[in-house]
Amino acid sequence: MTKTITTNIPLAEKAYQVIREQILNNSYRAGEQILEKTLVETLAISRTPVREACVRLEKEGLIEIKPRHGIRVKPISLEDMAEIYEILTALESEAARKLATQNLKAADLKKLVTPTTAMEKALAKNDLEAWAEADEAFHLALVELSGNQRLKQVVLQFWGQAHRVRYFTLHLRDKPTGSTQDHIDLVNAIKAGNSELAASIHRNHRIEGKENLLKLLDKYRFVQL
């Protein structure tokens, strides 16, 4: 289902958010080609902001712009996912290490604690979609609080691709209790100011996540998504 477009942000941003959401939740599937005319009619906005949104999505690796043919949602291979996870592991672990060296304000720390609590509540209800949403909020807070804008930009460049594959396999994986505990342990390490432990926890978390995901993709013989 397409999100309702609000009126308090620029049209190009609205188009970007809606098209990106449709890709991340696999409403627009890998390899699918969508005409520019279809996007314009679906979003009920003009071609220019749609084109601006598509340029941004292409830079994030989510689509290919096909002149006179609209866009094509880019498939992601197992090799792509392995490379993406290596990048996320390195950069997010550095963000975790950096956060533990800072004396975070209570309001900033809450940005990590709140999604972690939401993840626990979602698991208790077996609501995996809510868990995934809270998990994404946690990782976003992690890179935002690092204060390193270039690190954040690089992470977000690849984040969407990883999210799409993880969302696709959400109900094929084991219940993510271990992943939730990793987040709790990371928050505690950051609170304690233990930068090496924080980096180690998150590095191992991402490595394990990569290994589990690749095994799952191989098990179900998903060559690309």
What secondary structure, in 3-state letters, does the chain show? Answer: CCCCCCCCCCHHHHHHHHHHHHHHCCCCCCCCEECHHHHHHHHCCCHHHHHHHHHHHHHCCCEEEECCCEEEECCCEHHHHHHHHHHHHHHHHHHHHHHHHCCCCHHHHHHHHHHHHHHHHHHHCCCHHHHHHHHHHHHHHHHHHCCCHHHHHHHHHHHHHHHHHHHHCCCCCCCCHHHHHHHHHHHHHHHHCCHHHHHHHHHHHHHHHHHHHHHHHHHCCCCEC
What pLDDT sits at residue 221? 85
Query: What is the tally of structural domains in the chain?
Result: 2
Same structural domain, 119 and 168:
yes
Confidence check: pLDDT of 1 > 50? no
Q: Is 113 exposed, middle or buried (0-12, 13-18, 19+ CB in 10 A)?
A: middle
Q: Is 126 exposed, middle or buried (0-12, 13-18, 19+ CB in 10 A)?
A: exposed
Same structural domain, 57 and 164:
no
First-to-final CA distance of the chain: 20
Express each pLDDT in 75-133 by its tens digit.
998 999 999 999 999 999 999 999 999 999 999 999 999 999 999 999 999 999 999 99
Same structural domain, 25 and 67:
yes
Same structural domain, 98 and 46:
no
Is 135 inside a domain boundary?
yes
Same structural domain, 128 and 148:
yes
CA distances from 69 to 18, 129, 155, 222 (A): 20, 33, 29, 27
Q: Which of 48, 73, 98 is the last residue of a domain?
A: 73
**Higher pLDDT residue, 34 or 218?**
34
Is 1 inside a domain boundary?
no
Q: Which residues pair with 70 in a beta bridge?
A: 66
Average pLDDT over the chain, rounded to an integer: 93
Q: Which of 47, 73, 99 is the last residue of a domain?
A: 73
By percentage, how much of the chain surpasses pLDDT 70?
97
Same structural domain, 84 and 47:
no
Confidence check: pLDDT of 3 > 50? no
Confidence check: pLDDT of 203 > 70? yes
Residue-number span of the structural domain to which 27 is assigned: 11-73
Is 124 inside a domain boundary?
yes
CA distances from 86 to 32, 38, 40, 91, 99 (A): 27, 36, 36, 9, 20
Same structural domain, 53 and 117:
no
Same structural domain, 35 and 138:
no
Confidence check: pLDDT of 212 > 80? yes
What pLDDT sits at residue 167? 87
Question: What length is written for the chain?
Answer: 225
Confidence check: pLDDT of 7 > 50? yes
8 Å CB contact between 83 and 48: no
